[in-house]
Amino acid sequence: MFHFEEKPKAGGGAGGGPGEGAQGRGQPLDTKLYRRRWVIVFLFSSYSLCNAFQWIQYGIINNIIMKYYNVASFTIDWLSMIYFVAYIPIIFPVTWLLDRKGLRVIALVGSGLNCCGAWIKIASVRPDLFAVTFFGQTVCGIAQVFILGMPSRIASVWFGANEVSTACAIAVFGNQMGVALGFLIPPIIVPNVDDLDQLTYHINIMFYGTAAVATLLFILVILVFQEKPDIPPSQAQAAILAKPMLDYSYVQSILQLIKNMPFFLLVVTYGINTGSYYAVSTLLNKMVLTHYPGEELNAGRIGLTIVVAGMVGSIICGIWLDKTRTYKQTTSVVYFLAFTGMVTFTFTLNLGHLWVVFLTAGMLG
């Protein structure tokens, strides 16, 4: 594995294990930041990008995929919705595995399933093999469950106390960049032509390119991705490692969270906010083409505008939260902006001016 080191942070030496003899004396536990942490978070961000790209690559060219496989538009929508359906039953066992087996196992399974799903799709490029492409997308949807829960864990295990929100933002940035590329690239690679042989050729290009990237990233995860640093990056992480696992109950932690009203409210409001975003992303092709026929390329560009604006906000919020720790206030502002952006986008979509749609899409993002 790649190995980069920096000098220990103040308050801890490089010698000895984390907290060796320090807790009893009330002294700071040993902590250390490794430059390798940036390799870990960017590698995760990259295979998260690849998975997110595969989520929306069908939806943004809904009318073309519908014509190629000769299925209904709602059936194509399921290629997006399967990601969310897969998430619901699998998220709890996956988070339990993350707690018990750690980052490396979850990273290997997530990137491996993402790679496997991409190669299954290559075998589906024939008009009578929609079931195969749906199966490949389902595998990618399962892979997503092994991806979405990792940013906060990577941030806490590898990054210092003042870097956690920024590290989370970088990890999430990859997922959003994948959605952005998923909006932008498929309409360019797969044109709206009637010749099925030409469509087969262009869809093959998209799928082979995706599979090549997914395979490269899976190999890099095998070679590079490390479970945790030898010495923890923060006092909080060092204290967690010093605490016996016998004191921890996964089921009990879930029950405590369910009983926590602020956490429950956050789950509900975040679900509404994110659900609206996913609904717009899934149906964007149909929404744009209903009012602007023949604008497949611009439908992708409008989606790109939404996501790029959101990525800028994500990075800004990450930096802002690390400096101010104003979590509730920032969340309230973001939700208010999302609400006003959604209302504006909804009531200006049918005005007949694409530039207005681009403007309001940026506001929504």
Interval 54-63: pLDDT, tens: 998 998 888 8
Q: Is the dihedral of CA 264, 267, 271, 277 positive or negative?
A: positive
Which DSSP letter does residue 234 get?
S
The H or E element containing residue 308 is helix 296-324
pLDDT attached to residue 243: 66
What is the per-residue pLDDT for 347?
A: 86
Please, what's the largest Cα pairwise distance for the chain? 76
Distance CA 186, CA 210 (A): 11
CA distance 59 to 267: 26
pLDDT along the chain (365 residues), means of 10: 43 42 54 78 92 90 90 90 90 86 90 96 93 95 91 82 78 86 89 90 95 96 84 62 62 82 87 83 79 78 82 78 82 86 84 82 80
Question: Which of 179, 196, 356 lies closest to 274, judged by CA?
Answer: 179
Q: Check residue 24 and give its pLDDT.
A: 45
**Helix H or strand E segment including 331:** helix 327-348
Number of independent structural domains in the chain: 2
Same domain (yes/no): 199, 334 = no
Q: Which of 176, 199, 234 is the last residue of a domain?
A: 234
Which residues are paired to 8 by β-bridges?
32
274 phi and psi angles, rounded to 5 deg: -70, -35
Q: Are 223 and 266 found together in one domain? A: no
Measured between alpha carbons, how far is 19 from 237 in angstroms, rounded to an integer?
Answer: 11
The pLDDT, as a whole number, for residue 241 is: 59
Say if residue 193 is in the same domain as residue 255.
no
Please indicate, yes or no, whether residues 220 and 254 belong to a single structural domain of this protein.
no
Do both 198 and 66 map to the same domain? Answer: yes
Degrees, nearest 5: CA angle 226-230-236:
100
